[in-house]
Structure 1
């Protein structure tokens, strides 16, 4: 008897989400499939449901930009395997996904056979990362590791910096003191090896390209 899996598909594009749903349903007929179209709806779903066996996560959907959704999920639900399914197939992105604790990466351009093979491997407990997408320069790997060294809160602050918000605005939005934000800034600059917010934002943009 085949094991019954609970798999969450998190993607904001209805057509792709439906296609992925159908593909997974055909390959794992007994699977319990759940859907989310934003980071908020995904987090709500995880609060109300039993822990799933796997989350299939798109990097870009409402509430998540770049690695922020993955980082948030790894912090809140470290025990749940997460496989990123993305149209961004650059080696630097795949390296960051792996460094941030994802259990696998599947390009959206994958055909049905490759998709099912990757999911089968992951559900059997083996990580899946396309070898050809992991061959990259040591420079981009170093950048991925520096970004991964940030805590979820520090990554959130850095993202808000990138959006052009001032310390006072960030403190208000996160409901903390301005002194706390300054302490975060100091830690962010140290971990990234930069001297100011401009350099930090450039590094973040480089990482998300």
Structure 2
């Protein structure tokens, strides 16, 4: 049996190293794995089924804010995700909660806060700072619409948001251009969008800076 693992996904090497060091000292029974982008995050999750928790930064390459959280929750609904971010605005914390995170840790928090949060989530609880932000019905509706997408459709949507053409998306995903067209048609229907531009705007709204 492989050793249970925790995955730290953050593109900042120094901060990731510091977090990994804390986790290794406080949770010695867990292997600690690392990822620095959306693609390495997906690869790690595919290669290591023993991962029991993901500690996730919101601003890695290949992500659009909360898109990585939604992608992990869609592909691995039983896997708890704790968001770690330097943006600890109450609205960001509330959005993380609504998009399916099990906890939120500010990058300015002390090591003990990180330990307590991870312990709580590993025990099946949640770990969020006390916040004063209204629940957003728009975010709830957006999360529900995005949850209808298959993992391949979600990945296609992110490429659409990056402005890639169908031919380019096909090359990136290793599928035919016809398959991409089928995905895009399904995406627009499920998201109730009339154009690729409208779908891209939805993805942009997942950025943590979108506090309006």
Q: What is the number of residues matched between the two proteins?
A: 206
1:17 corresponds to which residue?
A: 16
Q: How far did residue 205 of structure 1 move?
A: 1.0
2:131 corresponds to which residue?
A: 132
Which segments of 5 or more consecutive residues in structure 2 lack a partner in the other structure? none
Structure 1 Cα separation of the partners of residues 79 and 136 of structure 2 = 30
Q: How far did residue 157 of structure 1 move?
A: 1.7
Structure 1 Cα separation of the partners of residues 204 and 34 of structure 2 = 29
Structure 2 Cα separation of the partners of residues 45 and 137 of structure 1 = 32
1:107 corresponds to which residue?
A: 106
Instruction: Give the secondary structure class of the aligned counterpart of 1:161.
Output: helix
1:161-200 superposed matches below 5 A: 161-200=160-199
Q: More deviation in 98-107 or 187-196? A: 98-107
Deviations 1:151-181 (A, max 9, x none): 2222222221222222233234333343433
What RMSD over aligned residues (CA atoms) do the two structures have, in Å?
Answer: 3.0
Q: More deviation in 65-74 or 180-189? A: 65-74
Structure 2 Cα separation of the partners of residues 94 and 147 of structure 1 = 19
Q: Is the 8 A contact 1:40 1:63 kept in 2?
A: yes
Higher helix share: 1
Structure 2 Cα separation of the partners of residues 125 and 153 of structure 1 = 29
Q: How far did residue 51 of structure 1 move?
A: 0.2
1:3-152 superposed matches below 5 A: 6-46=5-45, 48-49=47-48, 51-90=50-89, 93-132=92-131, 135-152=134-151
Q: How far did residue 113 of structure 1 move?
A: 3.5
If the length of structure 2 is used for normalisation, what is the TM-score? 0.76
Q: Is the 8 A contact 1:90 1:133 kept in 2?
A: no
Which segments of 5 or more consecutive residues in structure 1 lack a partner in the other structure? none
Q: Is the 8 A contact 1:104 1:127 kept in 2?
A: yes
Evaluate the alpha carbon distance shift between residue 199 and residue 91 of structure 1 in structure 2; reply closer, same or farther with a 3 A threshold. Answer: farther
Instruction: Give the secondary structure class of the aligned counterpart of 2:179.
Output: helix
Q: Is the 8 A contact 2:98 2:139 kept in 1?
A: no
Structure 2 Cα separation of the partners of residues 165 and 50 of structure 1 = 31
Structure 2 Cα separation of the partners of residues 90 and 148 of structure 1 = 25
Q: Is the 8 A contact 1:10 1:38 kept in 2?
A: yes
Structure 2 Cα separation of the partners of residues 200 and 134 of structure 1 = 26
